Structure 1
């Protein structure tokens, strides 16, 4: 996301008729969602949530959430 890509500004751009504008908005929203997921997974784990509970909240499998986040958290020193 660039400095001017706020969620509110992106919401208005996803329906733009110019494919370059719309696709840029899609990429920016995807990055925002990934960052939000990382933030909230970290928060949940730091509050003692199990991988299963996180997975249930995200409506994905425990294996998927663990594969996506456990290695990153371990590298950051947040998982044992």
Structure 2
């Protein structure tokens, strides 16, 4: 079983301590992946509007979060 499957299992498990730690780890992973993909999209010429639509947020929110990176 890979570490992501382990995290998902822990997040859905019966132990709240393990579950909450897993949720935190998954959130951190998602944040890192979001930064990576936004950078990739910008490198490929995507507009903030396209990025925002893919993330399900407003253009302003996407730019505010990632615009200075």
Unaligned 5+ residue runs, structure 2? none
Moved over 3 A (4+): none
TM-score for both structures, normalised by structure 1: 0.80
TM-score for both structures, normalised by structure 2: 0.91
How many residues are aligned here?
Answer: 68
* In 1, Cα distance between equivalents of 2:3 and 2:39: 23
Unaligned 5+ residue runs, structure 1? 74-80
> Could you say what the CA RMSD is over the residues aligned between the two structures, in angstroms?
1.2
Query: Which piece of structure 1 moves more, 53-62 or 5-14?
Result: 5-14
Query: Could you say which structure has the higher helix fraction?
Result: 2
Matching residue within 30, 34, 39 for 2:36: 39
